[in-house]
C-alpha cells in the first residue's frame, strides 16, 4: 500500500509495478505462510522485475506520440524566430530578449541590434545566425 501511495505522490508508473509485485508477494505468503524470508525477497525481486518488464514492453510500446512534442522544451520552440540582438555577440556569446525572457545566444560575432535567426539549441543557449 505504501508503494501505491508513493506512486500517487510521485507519478511516473514506476512504483506502481513494484506495488503490484508486493501485492502478489503478499498473496503468495497467504497461500504459503511458511515461506522463508530469503525466498520471499527473491520472489519479490523476480515479480518486480517481471512486472516492470511487462510495463516497458507492453504499455510503453502502445504509447501514443504526443501531439505537442515541444510542450516543455521552450528553447526548442524558439527555433526559426527572428529577433534583434540585445547585446552584441562577442567571443561567440551574446544575448537576445524574446518576450519577457533574456536568452544567451551563441554564434558568430555580430553587433547589437543585428537581426538573427534562431537555428538551434546548444547547451541551454540558442544557436543563432544572421537573418537574411
Cβ-contact 87, 114 below 8 angstroms: no
pLDDT value for 14: 67
Low-confidence spans in the chain with pLDDT less than 70: 3-4, 6-14, 60, 62-63
Q: Is the pTM of this model over 0.75?
A: no
Instruction: Write 88-97 long-range contacts (CB < 8 A, 24+).
Output: 88/112, 89/128, 93/125, 94/128, 96/126, 96/128
Could you state, in order of their start, the residue ranges of all structural domains in the chain? 2-59, 74-130
Q: What is the pLDDT of residues 43-55, one digit of tens each?
A: 999 998 998 888 8
CA–chain centroid gap for 93, Å, is: 27
Quick one: 74-130 is in which CATH superfamily? Nucleic acid-binding proteins (2.40.50.140)
Amino acid at each position: 500500500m505504501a508503494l501505491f501511495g508513493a506512486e500517487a505522490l510521485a507519478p511516473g508508473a514506476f512504483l506502481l509495478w513494484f506495488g503490484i509485485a508486493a501485492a502478489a508477494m503478499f498473496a503468495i505468503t497467504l497461500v504459503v505462510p511458511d515461506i522463508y524470508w530469503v525466498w520471499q525477497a527473491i520472489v519479490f525481486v523476480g515479480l518486480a522485475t517481471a512486472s516492470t518488464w511487462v510495463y516497458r514492453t507492453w504499455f510503453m510500446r502502445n504509447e501514443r506520440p504526443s501531439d505537442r512534442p515541444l510542450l516543455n522544451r521552450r528553447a526548442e520552440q524558439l527555433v526559426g524566430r527572428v529577433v534583434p540582438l540585445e547585446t552584441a555577440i562577442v567571443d561567440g556569446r551574446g544575448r537576445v530578449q524574446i518576450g519577457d525572457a533574456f536568452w544567451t545566444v551563441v554564434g558568430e560575432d555580430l553587433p547589437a541590434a543585428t537581426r538573427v535567426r534562431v537555428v538551434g539549441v546548444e547547451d541551454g543557449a540558442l544557436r543563432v545566425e544572421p537573418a537574411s
